[in-house]
Structure 1
């Protein structure tokens, strides 16, 4: 406590926010500990706290209240109750942000730097782990996708964290030598994670960054950016190419792969009446199949208006998997689309609130012309088409914290030390 009193209270809050973001790849216990530290930092700073009428911060709170209300009509109350404990971040974090003073650009940069450097450390640890596993087994798969970070942590979610950390360091106003090195590490690690969606969006953000650097005549960063792009094209090995290529296998007719596995086309994922254990859905066809069974579930339960209760859909998905005679694996997966996930659980109001959250981010990120905010908005809007972001605690914490930070920036105070990264 004596130590805390000696430092600025706002710095303590910023560090706690940075640590909360840094805890995302760690076991959930660490995330909860970091949340506790953030709450303590706010309580200690009670004299500086003052309620502010930031309407944007009420939207995630309303979303959580709707989740609570869904208990009244949930078809699986146990699953809904379990989700409410996991989704409490929708309530707690915005509530505290409603009392935190507006964040200066300098404070935001401090938070994001803590986060970015922690992601560098995490990347190095994962790479060391993959190297050890490679020397034990001789299998290069340890350097790619879920095998690199484990399926439980999930390569898609780690890609979100790494991508944001990379764009932050790439657009940092004044870089040290180690910042350039860390930028290389993060982008290389992102490529190895092989998330098609995140890689494409990150390349788009790199293009905006390049245009900005040309505009302000920053030659060294431009050269560094080009070198990053050239060197990091090397890790696009056969394994990563296959992850992209598999999506473009015949979209109208099923294709037989090795070992008799049948790759289901996008068309047949929607139309085919029966499957069996040999049928395999690639990323695109699987999402189409999930939209198909979502529509069937909603029609059968007549639940388009109210939904069937947040996170209560899994038994219905399992029934569809059994009905279509698919491998048990497909019965354990959620909709992998946050828009239809919220629609299924919360009805029309659920999807409307998700759209409002994203629309608010689009309007403000374009208005502020902040590259990092724009990247976060593009990334989360897009990833919600392929992942149920709010069904995993890491996804909830990632979205809610950054949503609150970006919507709590004080745009009226210019930052002379670190000029904002404009689009």
Structure 2
């Protein structure tokens, strides 16, 4: 762990002491362009895979998957779709917060990024975006009446999407999102099944039990998986069947609590509070939306247990909280 400290702290030191606004502007542009290039490359890989296989579908047992989606986002070995989804949303936020592109190009990029967010199939990211949008617009509507119309549009859009997901719940394209309808009136099925989302709920049941028994001590780092497995075998094995390859908490707050107790959660909440407060104070509305999304996402994913999550949090947290009004400067450059 010690060897990772300089690696983790380096971006924080760089951005806290950065004097060149042009350099930061170049970094933000590079991040946007880099993410777009990666998504385009994955598009070509998926198309090539379809052509070589001469099939639109991937068949695994009784299940079929669209090859175009499967190759890149669902089960592929290229990357974690959770992290890329967060990077893609951040790219969308940067495109709108900074004035790098003309209006028409900006909205073309918006459509392209939104399509990819949907295709990546990360339910945690989709749910976090929806909840963050609702929370952001609810707060904004209280401050400025003009945002109320956007809140109504969001609710209308959610109604239409929910209706579509229900009507086509048996199709390959919507089955990842329509599983929620299976729970209505069948809550006993949640603990009987071993689908990915049912496993997640079981993990949360086991993980949340630590809040009732854990004291104030700090037990260490990297013990979460073993502790959850041990807790399941000791207390929950007779309550429900739980077959899984990993005992990842899939919840950063639970993860921090098991590792570091109450201090772990308090430090994380304090950092998130600072980021949200700073974005609100400076009226960085798109940035505020992203941190609301990020805070909600942490309740469904242990996003900060890998370098690719830690680096994003530290780099952009430091950048957005700079004392100078960097975003206004970059807008002027645009």
Normalising by structure 2, report the TM-score. 0.72
Q: Does 1:406 align with 2:324?
A: no
Query: 2:66 is matched with which residue: 141, 145, 153?
Result: 141
Q: Which whole-Å CA distance do the structure 2 matches of 1:192 and 1:412 have between them?
A: 33
Q: Does 1:185 align with 2:112?
A: yes
- 2:276·2:291 contact (CA, 8 Å) conserved in 1? yes
Q: What's the counterpart of residue 380 of structure 1?
A: 294
Q: What's the counterpart of residue 151 of structure 2?
A: none
Q: Which runs of structure 2 are paired with 1:1-400 in the superposition (5 Å)? A: 81=1, 85-86=3-4, 89-101=7-19, 104=21, 108-135=24-51, 136=53, 137-139=55-57, 141-144=66-69, 147-148=72-73, 150=76, 153-173=79-99, 175-176=101-102, 178-199=105-126, 202=129, 238-250=171-183, 253-254=186-187, 264-265=189-190, 268=191, 279-283=193-197, 285-296=198-209, 303-320=214-231, 324=237, 325-329=241-245, 332-400=246-314
1:411 Cα deviation (Å)? 2.7
Q: Structure 1 pair 369/197, CA: closer, same or farther in 2 (3 Å)?
A: farther
1:172 Cα deviation (Å)? 4.3
Q: Which whole-Å CA distance do the structure 2 matches of 1:404 and 1:172 have between them?
A: 17
Q: What's the counterpart of residue 17 of structure 1?
A: none
Render the CA deviation track for 1:277-309: whole Å, top value 9, x for unaligned.
xx31453x444422322244566xx64312431
- 2:98·2:327 contact (CA, 8 Å) conserved in 1? no
1:384 Cα deviation (Å)? 0.3
Of the structure 1 ranges 163-172 and 393-402, higher mean CA displacement relative to structure 2 is found in 163-172
Q: Structure 1 pair 253/200, CA: closer, same or farther in 2 (3 Å)?
A: closer
SS of the residue corresponding to residue 403 of structure 1 reads helix
1:326 Cα deviation (Å)? 2.3
1:107 Cα deviation (Å)? 5.2
Render the CA deviation track for 1:12-65: whole Å, top value 9, x for unaligned.
xxxxxxxxxxxxxxxxxxxxxxxxxxxxxxxxxxxxxxxxxxxxxxxxxxxxxx
Q: Which whole-Å CA distance do the structure 1 matches of 2:46 and 2:204 have between them?
A: 35
* Larger Rg over CA atoms: 1
Unaligned ranges ≥5, structure 1 = 1-80, 216-228, 256-263, 269-274
Q: Structure 1 pair 145/138, CA: closer, same or farther in 2 (3 Å)?
A: closer
Q: Which whole-Å CA distance do the structure 2 matches of 1:413 and 1:244 have between them?
A: 36
Q: Which whole-Å CA distance do the structure 2 matches of 1:297 and 1:417 have between them?
A: 47
Q: Which whole-Å CA distance do the structure 1 matches of 2:81 and 2:38 have between them?
A: 13
- 2:46·2:68 contact (CA, 8 Å) conserved in 1? yes
Render the CA deviation track for 1:59-110: whole Å, top value 9, x for unaligned.
xxxxxxxxxxxxxxxxxxxxxx4xx545654433323444334x64x65443
Q: Structure 1 pair 108/92, CA: closer, same or farther in 2 (3 Å)?
A: closer
Unaligned ranges ≥5, structure 2 = 58-64, 145-156
- 2:218·2:259 contact (CA, 8 Å) conserved in 1? yes
Q: Which whole-Å CA distance do the structure 2 matches of 1:404 and 1:239 have between them?
A: 41
1:313 Cα deviation (Å)? 1.9
1:180 Cα deviation (Å)? 4.5
Q: Structure 1 pair 251/352, CA: closer, same or farther in 2 (3 Å)?
A: farther
Q: Structure 1 pair 169/413, CA: closer, same or farther in 2 (3 Å)?
A: closer
- 2:216·2:261 contact (CA, 8 Å) conserved in 1? yes
| RMSD (Å) for aligned C-alpha atoms | 3.8
